[in-house]
Structure 1
Amino acid sequence: MITQRFIELGEGLGDVFELCELIRSNSGRLHRAFIFTARDSGVLSLAAAFEPAGEGSFMPIYICREGIRNSSKGSARVTRFQEAAAEAGATPVTVEVRPSKDFSDRDQYFRHITGILRLNHLIPPLR
């Protein structure tokens, strides 16, 4: 059984650089990259899901949660993230989700996103 869990890196510029470095250094394990747009809140989250290491059954999904303004001009952080994903052979999938403030705690928010990703076959289902 594959277990998927979000690992939150943070919201700052350094956190996005760390996420990009994780993608580059684990490009062979990258399952998919995501840009989550939060309805009506004007913020984005960047995330990357990786295949389990070795014979493990843990699929980490690293996320920089809601730290980027969604603007028509674009963002240097989003561009760097897209470039890192492209170097690993992936194009980030944009997924619209509810903002985290709609949930009483972060775990509910991450379960919400996990459900959307599973329903859209973007990460494997529970087995």
Structure 2
Amino acid sequence: MIQQFIELGQGYGDVYELCELIQTNEKRIHNAIIIISNNGEKKVASPAVAFKPVGESKFMPIYICREGIPYNPEKPSKRIELFEQALERIGKKAIQMDVKHSSYYSETALFYNHLIGILRLNHLIPPMQ
């Protein structure tokens, strides 16, 4: 199975697109994740949703809004609240996980490969076949 991150943007207006994908594809949702990382002194969040492959396809897309949303657990961002509400409407909940910021990696592709490994190890997406 091919698992690939598809970056919608950095979480400004594109979080609305992610919420629409959740609503229109609710039967395909495999898991939803809020990836939290530190960018210096600031914490940032990346909402992401993994979708099941379509039909006979072996492609699992993972849509993400990467590291553009400030994260404060005591006072959640309106964009994170919108993401969680979209999931709640379909009876799902996002899993939170902490990872290194993408700036630690020389390329964004390496960051996404690392995330796929973490998601597989934690059984949040299926293992490589």
TM-score range, shorter chain: over 0.9
Moved over 6 A (4+): none
Match of 2:112 in 1: 110
Corresponding residue number in structure 1 for 2:60: 59
RMSD: 1.1
> What is the match of residue 36 of structure 1?
35
Unaligned runs of 5+ in 1: none
Task: Give the Cα separation in 2 of the matches to 1:93 and 1:28.
Answer: 18
Moved more, 7-16 or 21-30: 7-16
Where 1:66 maps in the other structure, the secondary structure is coil
Q: C-alpha distance in 2, partners of 1:52/1:81?
A: 22
How many residue pairs end up in the alignment?
126
Question: Is the Cα contact below 8 Å between 1:45 and 1:68 reproduced in 2?
Answer: yes
2:20 matches 1:18: no
Task: Please say if 1:47 is aligned against 2:54.
Answer: no
TM-score by length of 2: 0.93
Deviation at 1:14?
1.6
Residue pairs, 1:63-102, within 5 angstroms = 63-71=64-72, 72-102=74-104
Post-superposition Cα deviations, 1:20-39, rounded to whole Å, max 9, x if no partner, equal 00010000000011100004
Conservation of the 8 A alpha-carbon contact between 2:119 and 2:125: yes
Contiguous gaps of at least 5 residues in structure 2? none
Residue by residue, what CA displacement relative to the aligned partner does 1:79-116 show, whole Å, maximum 9, x if unpaired? Answer: 11001111222100001111000000010000111111
The CA deviation string for residues 48-77 of structure 1, in whole angstroms up to 9 with x for no partner, is 000001111100000000010012311110
